[in-house]
Amino acid sequence: MAEYEIRALRAEDRERVRAILIERWTALQIVNHGQLYQADELPGFVAVQHGEIRGLLTYSIEAGQCEVVSLDSLAEGQGIGTALLTAVEEPARAAGCRRVWLITTNDNLHALGFYQKRGFVLVAVHRDALAVSRRLKPSISFIGIGGIPLRDEIELERTL
């Protein structure tokens, strides 16, 4: 496993963060559970290896809860996603949050396994939630990973 540094996003990271978000999410806007986020303006953490960003997590803290808005590892299998999830716990606890939560879609079977292996539990399935999300972000595809129809949001959480 290669060495990398996990640190808070800095102003000088924003250009690269924008490029990652557009590459991975097709836009700077991310919709989770009916909320539109300007993801490149959110606080977050990066994993840096040899001066390059190799992972990104953005989050939002509201009403005593910390939502992971985006998580991207550009080098899977190196522990980057796990380290970024661990890093977000510090600001969440400092803000008095009792849980870290996130949304993934029904087609993202890899993510469902990844999060559960790291202590997240499924707390809700929001049926047809992407119909609402598409009103805010019409570019959301109708077909997801592996040809699975993209319809539902799955909410997972890890209590702190």
**Is 37:114 a contact under the CB 8 Å cutoff?**
no
Q: Which CATH number fits the domain that encloses residue 104?
A: 3.40.630.30
What is the total count of domains within the chain?
A: 1
Query: Structural domain of residue 106, as residue ranges?
Result: 5-159
* CA dist., res. 83 & res. 94, Å (int): 18
Encode pLDDT of 65-119 as tens digits: 999 999 999 988 889 999 999 999 999 999 999 999 999 999 999 999 999 999 9
Share of the chain above pLDDT 70, in %: 99
**Residue 57 is encoded by which pair of tokens?**
């997590």
Beta strands of the chain (E only): which ranges? 5-8, 29-32, 35-38, 44-49, 52-62, 65-73, 99-105, 121-126, 153-159
* CA dist., res. 145 & res. 151, Å (int): 12
Q: What average pLDDT does range 25-52 have in this prediction?
A: 93
Residue 33 has pLDDT above 60, yes or no: yes
Confidence of residue 121 (pLDDT cuts 50, 70, 90): very high
**Is 84:68 a contact under the CB 8 Å cutoff?**
no
Task: From 114, 119, 117, select the one nearest 100 (Cα to Cα).
Answer: 119
Classify 16 as helix, strand or coil: helix
Residue 98 phi/psi, 5-degree rounding, is -100, -10
The model carries a pTM of 0.92
